[in-house]
Amino acid sequence: MRNYGNGRPIGVAENITYIRGIWKPNMTIALLQFDNEEQACLWMQSDPHFRRHDWLDDHDTIVIPTRSELAAYPCVEINAFQRNDVQMFEADFLPKYEKNVENAGGKPAICSTERIRVWRGSNDISYMMLTQWRSSEAAQEWHHSQEATDLHALRPYASGGWSVLADMKLSPHTE
């Protein structure tokens, strides 16, 4: 994996907490990091275990770029959705979201992109956001706060999709 753009495993979810949308209970999350999308795709094409049809059991594989470095935080929040109102999302929601999450101790919008490559699967999403938290308790506390409630009242900017919190077992070199 390292031969492909410094590829490395970040971690795998030990527990997934559903926030909104549809999430199949038999699904899990694994995060891998590469220098760029091209290197990630080259690795996926070359690795015989990853390509094996029955190994992944038809789970979705999505390649997305990050906009900042991943922290060694064990909780990852993943939001995947359709953006309806790009102007409202970029001008109103995203700056407030980033500020509120930062104030609550999270690392907001490590990935915030419409550049999504669905390698395998059938996700009907046009936008993804990844946020890291020091713990799932901190993330859930923020999601139950008045700031989050007010922010999610702006939800008409998006539709469909799903949001989950993943408690990750980090790879040893990530911690």
How many CB atoms within 10 Å of residue 24?
9
Domain housing 131: 14-24+62-170
Question: Does any domain span residue 48?
Answer: no
* CA nearest neighbour of 90 among 133, 16, 154, 170: 154
Question: Does any domain span residue 46?
Answer: no
- Residue 26 structure tokens: 């038999």
Question: Does any domain span residue 29?
Answer: no
Question: Does any domain span residue 115?
Answer: yes
Contact 107, 71 (CB under 8 A): yes
Question: Does any domain span residue 104?
Answer: yes
Question: Does any domain span residue 4?
Answer: no
**What total of structural domains would you count in the chain?**
1
pLDDT tens digit sequence for 51-65: 766 555 556 777 888
pLDDT tens digit sequence for 112-162: 888 877 766 666 778 889 999 999 999 999 999 999 999 888 766 777 788
Question: Does any domain span residue 37?
Answer: no
pLDDT tens digit sequence for 14-56: 999 988 887 777 888 888 888 888 888 888 888 877 776 655 5
What mean pLDDT value characterizes the chain? Answer: 83
Report residue 88 CA to chain centroid gap. 21
CATH number (domain holding residue 164): 3.30.70.100
Main-chain dihedrals φ then ψ at residue 41, nearest 5 degrees? -65, -40
pTM of the model: 0.85
Contact 109, 97 (CB under 8 A): yes
